[in-house]
Amino acid sequence: MDALLTPEGFLDPRAAGLAAIFLTQWLKIYLPDKHWAQLLVLGITAVLEVIAATITGAGYWGALAAAFWGATLATFGYEAVKNAAELLGLKESR
């Protein structure tokens, strides 16, 4: 398996989704409306995948499909952790 911090590694949806969710959490500070955060995850993941596909010469359709799956993993993973924290009483629900 390739290292995750190489262009080939970012073609893996898990790596791109993980990077996108970290970037989105950082950028949420600057978003006036948090409802756009999940769209931002999809956009960042797509940009990362297309850049990785350009560098490696991989197909763009495969990269965009990986971006979709990466953003899906990142979004549902974040929501699952957030909901579990609320159920355990570690975070107040809004």
Distance (Å, rounded) from C-alpha 56 to C-alpha 71?
Answer: 21
Q: What's the start-to-end Cα distance of the chain, in Å?
A: 41
Is the CB of residue 78 less than 8 Å from the CB of residue 21?
A: yes
Distance (Å, rounded) from C-alpha 4 to C-alpha 23?
Answer: 16
Domain boundaries, the chain: 7-87
Residue 35 has a CB neighbour count (10 Å cut-off) of 7
- And the tokens for 2? 């390739």
User: What are the pLDDT tens digits along the chain (94 aa)?
Assistant: 456 567 777 778 788 778 887 888 888 788 777 777 778 888 888 888 888 888 888 888 888 888 888 888 777 777 777 778 888 887 665 5
Provide CB contacts within 8 A for 7, sequence distance 6+: 51, 52, 55, 56
The dihedral sign for the CA sequence 64, 70, 75, 80: positive
pTM across the whole model: 0.68
